[in-house]
Every structure is written in structure tokens, then in C-alpha cells.
Amino acid sequence: MRTITNLSSSSGLDICCTDELIEGTGYGQAVKSTAARQGTLRELNLGLVLREVLDAAATHAPSPSRADVAAATGLTRATVSTLVDRLVAGGLLAECEPVATQRAGRPAVPLVPAGGTLVALGAEVNVDYLGVRALDLAGHVLAERVVEDDHRDSDPARVLRALAAVADDVLAETVGDPVAATAGEPVAPGGPRRVVGTALALPGLVARDAGTLLLAPNLGWREVDVAGVLADASEVFSAHPPTLANEADLAARAEARAQRREGAASFVYVSGEIGIGAALVLEGRVFGGRHGWAGELGHTLVADGRPLEQVAGQDAMVRAAGLEREAGVASLVAALAAGAPAAHEAVRAAGEALGAALANVVNTVDVSDVVLGGTYARLAEHLVEPVLAALRTHVLAAPWAPPTVGVARVGDIPALTGAALSVLDLVIADPSAWLDAPGAAAALPRLAP
């Protein structure tokens, strides 16, 4: 629950912000605690108002009016109106047509995130595909492209150059001229689109500040200067160096947003692809550990001393079902549908091993809800029962906090969405940077409710 803090100002300006924003732990995670100045607090209030509207959209709540935002934040209506006017003029919020209310006075004007003005690019390199997705503040997918390929033991430079070409293609489709767009010029038909930044999901350990992939065993990559290679090969990555993160963490970030309707959830997200990645979400926020390296579940050891992904990963299940590895998970799904005994036994055994490994996690972190993503989501009909049975058997607190196993809601290739959302956090953290930047949008026309 957010606490609203009222802060005095020598000028009499109404200034208010949440504990989350003061501490830098809210939706805009890039905000840091600093000495309070009047200008700083005013910018925090901009973020507070923007976040209130974005939260309503993310949870599918009714679009709030200025009066609703004032009531929710504790700011006066006059202050909210001033801030909203700036956000609308800058292309971060949009107004819908007025709607009648039960209250006396003028009709309310619902506020929604502006669509198509700011663009964040989420990218991913995984073992059997690479992809790029462009997202706006409203959560709309403006363009995306996914290219399937086998990247096992691949040449990093070749794969990253291919990703760079895809990213430039997606940006061109989204905003027109990539060079003009990255400079903040209004080049898109119907209004300007500006690039906020980029983020890249990778299946391994990354040094986030250095732009380096330290280790991705299933790619066969070690200590790769990812940001440097991409900057040399791509206009968009040169102008906006990507933030690197683990793909399971970013997929969990997207899943946490998808679950916002029920409140800030806590769960263990486990993504089954060629490898197995996991992420811990606490009260709607991904916990990455000290270095961001938490969640390497696939490299934990099972009873016979093998890494879990060699028992319960996609390739392991396909092989145990007697199928060709190149056919992938689609062949396994087809075999299950046809009732093939070997396929059912392969998935059951994988589910038991996965459940036992997850029981160790649940016993350690005291989070009893598990969410299956990636390949595991496609196989959930056959995986949930053995995973849940193992959790009930091995989780010490199961009689008092029964474990649950659910299926991810966020959709296909969630790390792309999570990567783009992590970039959009920069806007919520500092909206004024985008209101005052060259190429800031003029006020948008009102939208139909």
C-alpha cells in the first residue's frame, strides 16, 4: 500500500509524493533518494500523476479524471490540472472525450497513456530465436519481428549483427527514419515518435553496467562485449546503448505487470526453453540478487548430479520422448495430443524433477505461488499436476501455505515485453526529460472513451 506524503514548500506550492517515489522503489525504479528541492519535488509529482494513469491502464481500471488523480494522490485539483496539462502537451498522456458523472459540475475527462508518441525497444537473443518488439506508453505493440535460428555454440558477432539489423528494421517500421527518430525529430505520420531507449534480454549472466554478457552456457558465449558489437552494427543501438538483463528476469517483469489487476503479486516465475531460467517476484518487483544473477534454476543439481535443464529442459524432454531435437517443442505437443506414452512419461518425469527443484526454492524464499512460462506454459496441461504434487510433498509449509502452480498470462516471448517495459520505467522516473526534449509532441486530440 502506498503512503502519500505531503511536503511543505516555501512558495506555497502543493507538493506531494509517495514513499515509493521518495525512496526510488516505485514504478519508476530509476528514481533515487536525493536532497529535497522544490524543483525536484515538482518533478516527482509529475511522475506520481503519470504513474497513477499508467497504473489504471495496466490494471484495466476505469480511466481516471483529474479529480480522481487528485483524490488518489492527495494533491490539490489545481496542482493536478497543471501537471496533467504538461503531460498532455508533452505527449505522455491523452484526454478522452468528456463523460457524464454522478457528481455535480462539468463532465469528467478521462486520462489515458498517450499511444504512439514514445517508443521503447525490447530485444532478445535466445538459443533458438532472436527478436525485437517496439512498445509505447499505452502498452501497444507498434512493431515486432522474431527470427528463428539455432544459436547453440554460435559466433557472437554474427548473431549480434543479425539482431542489429532486425532492430533497425523494426525501428524504421515504427518511426520512419531511425536517425531522425533517435534525434527526437517528429517523423512519424500523424505525430512524432521518439525513442526512449533499448534493453536486451540474454539467457545468462550479464554485467549490466558494462554492457557485457559474462556467460551464456547454452549459446557457448563468454565475456562478450554485447553493447560494443551492437553499437558498431546498428543505428538505434549506437544512439541508445542497450541495458542488458537476464531473459527470465525480464519475462517475470512482464508477468508481474500482467498480474497487477489482482494487486502486487509475489511468485516464482520459471521459464522453460532450451535452458531453464527462474525469477523471484516479491510484491510485484523482480528480485535479482546483489549482481542480478539470481534465478539460474537450470544449473541447480538434481538427485543424480545432473543440472536440472538436462532433465527438465526442452531438449531433454524432446529427447526422452524419442523425438528429434530439431523438431522442437511443437513435436512434443503433437505427440502428447496423440497420446504417445513416451511423450507423456517424458513430461511427467520432467515435471517431477522441476517440482522438486522448485520446492527447494519455495522452502528457501517463502513464496508458495509458481508461474510456468515459456515452453512450460505450452505444456502446462501435462506439467501442472506432477509439479504441484512434488511441491505438496517437499514444501515444509505446504499444510499452512498450500503451493499453487499457474500459467503465465503475459503472452508469447514475454522477455521482449519486459525489456521494453524496463525502458519505459525511465519515463515514469523522470517525465520532465521527455516533456522538455526536442521533438516533444504537441497536445494530442481527445480520444473516444
DSSP code, position 27:
S
Q: pLDDT for 352-369, tens place per residue?
A: 999 999 999 999 999 999
The mean pLDDT value for 105-120 works out to 90
Instruction: State the DSSP string of 225-282.
Output: -HHHHHHHH-HHHHHSPPEEEEHHHHHHHHHHHHTGGG-S--EEEEEESSSEEEEEEE
Indicate the range of 19-28, 135-144, 186-195 predicted with least confidence: 19-28
Give the confidence band of 105 by pLDDT, cuts at 50, 70, 90.
low
Q: Which of these, 169, 170, 165, lies nearest to 230 by C-alpha position?
A: 165
Q: pLDDT for 188-218, tens place per residue?
A: 334 568 999 999 999 999 997 789 999 999 9
Q: pLDDT for 177-192, tens place per residue?
A: 444 344 333 333 345 6
Q: What is the pLDDT of residue 86?
A: 93
H-assigned helices in 280-413 = 309-312, 314-320, 328-337, 341-365, 375-378, 380-394
Taking a C-beta distance cutoff of 8 angstroms, is the pair 271, 376 a contact?
A: yes
pLDDT at 19 exceeding the cut of 70:
no
Backbone torsions φ then ψ of 205, nearest 5 degrees: -90, 130
3-class secondary-structure state, position 139? coil
344/379 Cα distance (integer angstroms): 11
Taking a C-beta distance cutoff of 8 angstroms, is the pair 394, 231 a contact?
A: no
Q: What sign for the dihedral angle of Cα 437, 30, 226, 286?
A: negative
The mean pLDDT value for 96-119 works out to 84
Indicate the range of 22-31, 281-290, 322-331 predicted with least confidence: 22-31
> What's the whole-number average pLDDT of the chain?
86
pLDDT at 343 exceeding the cut of 70:
yes
The mean pLDDT value for 223-228 works out to 97
410/139 Cα distance (integer angstroms): 12
The mean pLDDT value for 156-167 works out to 98
pLDDT at 427 exceeding the cut of 70:
yes
Q: What is the pLDDT of residue 384?
A: 97
Cα-atom radius of gyration of the chain, to the nearest Å?
23
The mean pLDDT value for 233-259 works out to 95
196/426 Cα distance (integer angstroms): 8
The mean pLDDT value for 277-302 works out to 93
Q: What is the pLDDT of residue 303?
A: 77
Bridge partner list, 4: 18
Q: What is the pLDDT of residue 176?
A: 66
The mean pLDDT value for 144-154 works out to 95
